[in-house]
Each structure stands twice: as structure tokens, then as C-alpha cells.
Amino acid sequence: MKRFAPLVIKYAKTSLFGFIALAAIATALGLQAFSSLEAGGYENPKSESTKVTKILASEFNQQIPEIVAVVDFGKPAASPSSEVKAAELLTKMESTDGVDKVTSYFTLGHPASLVSKDGKAAYFFIQLKPTAVKADVAANFETDYAKGFDGTKIYLSGSAIITSEINGTITKDLSNSEMVAVPIVIILLLFVFGSLVAAGLPLLIAGLSIGGSLFFVWLSTQVTTTSVFSINLITAMGLGLGIDYSLLMVNRFREERKLGHSVEQSVENTVATAGRTVLFSGLTVSIVTAAMWFFPQTFLHSLALGGVAVVVVSVAAALIPLPAALRLLGDRINKGKVLKGDLAPKDVGLWNSISRFVMKRPVAVLVVTVLALGGLMTLSNGVVFSQVDDRILAKDSRAVIASNQVRERFAGREGSPVEIIVKSGNEAAVVKYAENLSRQASVERVQTASGIAVSGHNAETFAPMFADYIKGEYERIVVIHNVEPRSPAGYDFTVKVRQLAHPGLSNVLIGGSAAIYTDAQKGIEDNLLPAVIWIVLATLVLLFLFTGSVLLPIKAVLLNVISLGAVLGVLNWVFGKGSLPWLTGNFVNTGTIDTSSLVLLAVIAFGLSMDYELFLLSRIKEQHEHGLSTTESVALGLQRSGRIITAAALVLAVSFAAFAFGGVSIMKMLGVGISLAILIDATIVRALMVPALMRLFGEWNWWAPKWLKVVYDRFGLKD
């Protein structure tokens, strides 16, 4: 850092405006990614269900219908007038750009399972061409059939429709949240930074970070499926880190100027001290965020990519254009003051008093805080984990209304069956297996190549929905059930089907919506331990290299676990139990917590808490190296960093809290969860628990065995 700072100072204008130009180019390219982003990516691409999906596509030319339409005729669907309208509707749907094939109750032999229990509504299944832009086709369908067709009511659901509504809702939410959050953030920044000019710097750094990160999202869309939620993450983290790093650097610059150093020397010292903390913070947060790569879902891969990208670009923005701006502005950084007096940090004040109050009674403070957080943790009792479906949208969403038609009016889930692939050639074994399947609870019908649908007590001739049930070495079996696919019930149902004996059949593969959901859940379950080990070990190693201490890294990890446990308890109480209806009442309460979103929340919260931990420890360690006792180091370190941590946390919490008022439930959960985690960490953990523990540990805070001291002396990140 000592060698890097003079270059930025010498070429300040080039550093500032060159970085802005690069970010502008990156933003222009990145904005092109929006049309290619998807709301899915929750499936496990290496799973058994994915193999089934690939076989259905390659061998049977079969795709899961991207659009499922329920057409309500208001009279018996089998009546002559309904038949005429259905034929006209079928022709119109087939003529829509991007549509490959449309099948329905009327084209598949009028099976009873494809008509509603009251006989008035029927299924239409729309499959799209591989080259179709699903979002465009979904938008056309929603526009064309918003008012029904020739007196009928048409309810549209399916992956394309749900994705379209989620993307549209998130885009609208981003705009609305910015309208609400940005003015509040600007006001907070004015008071936090103390001057108009200084308050503009974090917005500049955040803008550069967000715009530059979009370039990497655009690159990702060129080679793989990329989640639309990566934009939300980049926006929130870019703003948050821009504020964190700017506040840290500006405060240190003002501190150096107060000591009488020249502008150039102050910038150099700022980069060498606060800049080192920023660099190490970025390294820690990016490594923690990268833990999402352990999980197989492209949803989490997208968020890992977006998270790492925005951290890297934020660090670069804090170390290149920000020091350059400080060099060019000098003391003009304080122009437009909104606070009276000297804006430089003071060595006595509120945080010094709080830390000394805590360190006089550390045991009592720890008992109270642990009991408080432990009480919140108990709220997680009975938590049920699941994954999202259409019900992440509000109750009045057209996609939710349509999906509820399927749930409430039809006996089976025709649009989301269990798909089974077996080796062909033993038809007697297939029939026996189908009969066993049909006797399972929740199974409505089992369809085989014979064209006979068997149930536990009867059989009916049924025109197959699909032209072929046998292709080469593969034979398919379709199981229609009445289970909510993306739910714990869908998980249990899939497990039972996979455990069912199938004598005479080899290489039986179970797929379909419920199996896709099950494999996604198992993908997280199976990879959770390696991800946790990665985060814990990386954090322990990096914090040791930063502090030279064995106890401080362990303390940081344990406090984070306690904090995250408290957050999980609150989330279960609010979203799992529906305890705040004013916040969640416009959504269907499934009684579950989304697993993928919780992984994301935990990773972000853990990473940001490490951010604040480093801010605090860097100042405490600096004072201790200057010869102060641990008690004095903690008091002075907290005084110099407490305001930064609390102010940054407050602004970041406001940014994330804006998501809590959006139209997608998992974004609400992320908004509430991350905001709460940040505030708990910046107040209860950093202001109370850390000083109390460090007071109890005393000089043991800095202990390490001799061999680790050798490692630290050689490899420690000191400069």
C-alpha cells in the first residue's frame, strides 16, 4: 500500500477520471444484461431430476410447458359452444410468435383429469420454441388474454409467466425503493459525513461500484443462466460498501490533516492505514461471499458472482478514484458543512464512554446480551425450510391467482407431474411398477406407454398428452399427483417414490417439478457443511494474518453465529409464522423459510459483520501497537471507529430495509433479515459484546503460540 499510494497521488486526475471512464463503459455494456436475466436457477444441475429433464428434451423432444393456461368457459367445457371457442383459442395461441406447441383437454381425448372438478374450466399447455425469448412471449400472452377470450376467463401461470411477473415486480421495486431510500440515505450521509462535498463521495464510489459490477453480470449472461436477483445484491452491496469504505477513508484523511500533515502526506497515510483495512475487508467479504459457489444452484452462483464482483470493484473504487479525489479536493472536502465545529474524529466522546461503561462490568453486559440474543434464537424453534414458487408474489398477482385456480379447482397437478425414465423392453415390469405407483397416497393417475391410465381402483383409456412414451432405450412413466411440488410435502413425496421397489427395471430416474425441488434442497443440504467450513477456516486464517491473535478470530466467528441465530429466529417469527401481517399480509403464508435466500442472507450478513469487525480491530490493534493497554486500546479504538461502524450500518440498513416493502416476498425477507443483522452487529455485538470479551481476555487477546507468531511475522498482512 505504501508503494501504491504515491502513484495515485501523482496521477490523481488520471486515476479519478480514467476510472470513471472505465466504469461508464462497463455500465453501458452491463445494462444490456437486463433482458437476459432470469428469475429461476433454483434447480440442481447435477441431479437425477436434471438428467430426466435432459432425456425428455433430447430423446422425447419434450419440454415442461412454460405457460399453463386455465380457461374457464363459465359452462361445461364439454359443451358444443365451448368446443368451438376452444378450437378458436387453440389456433390463436399456436399462431403466437415463439409458441412451438399447444395441447389441451380438447386435443388429448377429453380426460377427466384435465378439466376442473366443476367441469367448467380446462387446461391448455403451451410449449415455447427453444429460440423464443420467454419474457416476450409471456408478456404477449398476458396482454392478449388479460380480458379473456370470447367470453371466457383465462388464467395464466407456468415458469415463463411467473418469471415475467417477478422480473417486472423487481424492476418496479428497485425504482420505488430508490425513490424512498435514496433521499433518506442522502440526508443521513450529510449528517454522517458532515459536509455536502464529503457526502457526495460515497454516492460516487457506490455508482462506480454498481456500474462496474454490471459488466461482469453481462459477461455471465453470455455463458450461463444468470439470476435477476444478482442486480438487487449488487445495488445494495455497492451502495453499502461505497458508504463503508468512503466513511473510513474520509475520517482517516480528516484525522491525518488534524495532525498537521500535508494533503499529499495525509492521503498517503490514509491509503496505508484505512486503505489497508479496506483491502483486507474486501478480501474477507469476497472470500465469504464466494462460499455460495459450493452450492450447485445457478441462482446462488449468480449471487456469488455478483457479490464478489461488487466487492472487488468497490475496493478498487475506494483505493483509486477515492484517494485521487481526496488529493484533488484537499480541505475542500469539508465545504458545505452541515455540522458545526471540527469534523475530524475526536478521542473522547460517546463511544469512549460506552466502552468504558461496558469494560467496568463485562460479565453483566455479556449475560444480558447473550440472554437477549438467545431469546431471539428460540423463535427459530419449529422452522421449516423450503423453496420459492409463485407465492413469492403478492396474493393479487395474476400468476398467483392463476396458480390458485390449479390448486383449488383441479384434482391433480397436470402441469407438474412426476416424470420417470426407465430402460425400455420390459413392459410387464413397467405395468407392475405403474400399478404400485398408483397406490401411493396423493397419486391421481399413472400414465404409461400403453395409453392406459391406472389408479389404485380403476383404469381408463386416456389419449397420451405426449406423442411418444418409448424412444430408443428409454421409456417414460408420468405420475399425476395432487401434492404442492415446491414444498416439504413435495420433498417427502419424491423421497417415497424413489424408495418404491421396481423389480425388473434398471436405471430408474425420477424427475419432474417435485423432484427438481427435492434435488435442489438436497444440493444445499449436502454442500452446507463444506461451505460453512470454508467460511470459518477462511475467516480464522485471514483474521489471524490481520491481527496475529488466535482468540480474536474465534471470538469473531462465535459472535457472528449468535447474531445470525437471532436473525433466523426473527425471520421465522415474521415470515414463517406470519406474526407481522402489516408486513407480510399481502402474501400467502406458506409457513416456510426459503433455503436459498437464507443461505444468501447468512453469507452477506457474515461478510458485512467481518467488515465491521475489521474496522474496529484495525483501530484497536493500532493503539495497542503504540503501547496502550488492552483496555485503553479498546476505548480509543471504539471511539475512533464506533461512529463509522454505526453510521455505515444505519445507512446500509436503510438501503436494505427498502426491499422489505417490495412485491416479492423473498426480497422482503432479505431486506428485513440483512437490515436486522447489520443493526445487531453494529450495536449489540460491536459496542457491547466485543468490548466486554476483550476486557475479560485482557492481554490474552493478542496471544498466539510461538510457531504461529513465526507465521504471522513472516506472512502477516501488516503493510
CA-CA distance, 262 to 371, in Å (whole number)?
49
Is residue 406 within 8 Å of residue 70, measured between CB atoms?
yes
Residues 265, 374 within the same domain: yes
Same domain for 265 and 352, yes or no, is yes
Q: How many C-beta atoms surround the C-beta of residue 489 within 10 A? A: 16
pLDDT-based confidence at 344, cuts 50/70/90? low
Hey, what's the cell of 581? 401481517
Q: Is the pLDDT of residue 62 over 80?
A: no
The domain boundary residue, chosen from 157, 181, 198: 157
The verdict on residue 400 lying in a domain is no
The beta-strand segments (E) located in 368-461 are 385-386, 418-423, 443-447, 452-454, 459-461
Can you give the pLDDT at residue 59?
86
What integer best gives the mean pLDDT of the chain? Answer: 88
Grid coordinates belonging to 133:
425469448
| 290 is a domain residue | yes
Sign (positive/negative) of CA torsion 591, 597, 601, 603? positive
**pLDDT at residue number 465:** 47
User: Beta 593-594 vs 385-386: how paired, if at all?
Assistant: parallel
The per-residue pLDDT for 719 is 56
Written as nine digits, the cell of 209 is 461500484
Helix, strand, or coil (residue 534):
helix
Residue 316: inside a domain:
yes
**Distance, CA of 579 to CA of 583 (rounded, Å):** 9
Is the pLDDT at 460 greater than 50? The verdict is no
Q: Do 482 and 378 have their domain in common?
A: no
Fill in the amino acid letter for 544. Answer: F
| Average pLDDT of span 562-577 | 94
pLDDT the model gives residue 67: 93
Q: What's CA 668's distance to the chain center, in Å?
A: 11
Q: What is the pLDDT of residue 491?
A: 93
Element (H, E) at 284: helix 276-289
Q: Report d(CA 463, CA 111) in Å as an integer.
A: 8
pLDDT at 149 over 90: yes
Could you tell me the pLDDT band of residue 345, with boundaries at 50, 70 and 90? low
Is the alpha carbon torsion for 556, 561, 564, 565 positive or negative? negative
> Does residue 533 lie in a domain region?
yes
Question: Does one domain contain both 514 and 531?
Answer: no
Compare 703 and 227 and report the one with higher pLDDT. Answer: 703
The full DSSP string for 611-648 is: HHHHHHHHHHHHHHHTT--HHHHHHHHHHHHHHHHHHH
Question: Residue 452: what pLDDT?
Answer: 53
For residue 453, list its beta bridge partners.
Answer: 447, 460
338 lies in the same domain as 485: no
Least confident interval from 93-97, 252-256, 493-497: 252-256
Q: Is 48 among the domain residues? A: no
Q: Please state which of the ranges 211-225, 456-470, 650-664, 675-689 shows the lowest mean pLDDT.
A: 456-470
Buried (b) or exposed (e) across 698-717, using 16+ Cβ within 10 A? eeebbebeeeeeebbeeeee
The residues, ordered by sequence, that sit 6+ positions from 43 with a Cβ below 8 Å of its Cβ are: 49, 50, 297, 298, 516, 519, 520
In the predicted model, is pLDDT for residue 466 greater than 60?
no
Output the pLDDT for position 123. 93
Q: Which are the contacts of 111, defined by CB distance < 8 A and separation ≥ 6?
A: 105, 453, 460, 462, 463
Q: What's the confidence (pLDDT) of residue 308?
A: 93
CATH number at residue 127: 3.30.70.1320
**In the predicted structure, residue 461 carries a pLDDT above the cut 80:** no
DSSP state of 388: -
250 and 378 co-located in one domain: yes
* Contact between residue 305 and residue 229 where contact means Cβ atoms under 8 Å apart: no
Grade residue 546 by pLDDT with cuts at 50, 70 and 90.
Answer: confident
Go through 525-560 and write b for each residue having 16 or more CB atoms within 10 A of its CB, e for each that does not: eebeeebeebbbebbbebbbbbbbbbbbbebbbebb
Residue count of the chain: 719
Q: Do the domain assignments include residue 709? A: yes
Which of 468, 486, 518 is the C-terminal boundary of a domain?
518
What cell was used for 269?
497515510
**Residue 396 counted as domain residue:** no
Question: Phi and psi for 67 in degrees, rounded to 5?
Answer: -130, 130
Tell me the average pLDDT across 548-577: 94
Q: pLDDT per residue over 662-692, tens digit each?
A: 888 888 998 899 999 999 998 899 899 999 9
The cell numbers describing 436, all together, are 404400485
Instruction: Tell me the average pLDDT across 465-491.
Output: 83
User: Which domain covers residue 192, as residue numbers?
Assistant: 4-38+164-389+519-715
Q: What's the number of domains the chain is made of? A: 3
pLDDT tier at 462, thresholds 50, 70, 90: very low
Identify whether residues 239 and 353 lie together within a single domain: yes
- Considering the domain architecture, whether residues 540 and 512 belong to the same structural domain is answered as no
Among candidate residues 148, 159, 79, the one with its CA nearest the CA of residue 126: 159
Number of helices (H) and strands (E) in the chain: give both, helices first.
25, 13
1 pLDDT above the threshold of 70: no
Give the per-residue pLDDT at 457: 41
pLDDT of 482 above 50: yes
Same domain, 336 and 476: no
Which residues lie across from 420 on neighbouring strands? 477, 510
Taken in order 353, 359, 360, 364, the sign of the CA dihedral is positive
Query: Are 330 and 443 in the same domain?
Result: no
Give the domain CATH number at 22. 1.20.1640.10
Do 421 and 497 meet the contact criterion of CB atoms below 8 Å apart?
no
What is the dihedral sign for C-alpha 128, 134, 140, 145? Answer: positive
Least confident range from 109-118, 361-370, 489-498: namely 109-118
How far CA 21 is from CA of 14, 16, 242, 386, 670, in Å, comes to 10, 9, 18, 44, 33
Q: CA-CA distances (angstroms) from residue 235 to 243, 303, 710?
A: 12, 12, 42
Domain's final residue, options 464, 498, 518:
518
pLDDT band at 86 (very low <50, low <70, confident <90, very high): very high
**pLDDT value of residue 455:** 55
Query: Which region among 25-34, 106-115, 250-259, 443-452 has the lowest average model confidence (pLDDT)?
Result: 443-452
Residue 528, C-alpha cell as written in the block: 452446507
50, part of any domain: no
What long-range pairs does 494-498 form, CB within 8 A, spacing at least 24?
494/418, 494/518, 496/440, 497/418, 497/420, 497/437, 497/440
- Kind plus residue range of the DSSP H or E element containing 121: strand 121-128
356, 216: one domain: yes
Within this chain, do residues 299 and 441 fall inside the same structural domain, yes or no?
Answer: no
Of 532, 537, 538, the C-alpha closest to 561 is 532
Distances (CA, A) of 472 to 419, 469, 475, 659: 17, 10, 8, 50
Q: Which residue has the cell 436494505?
A: 656
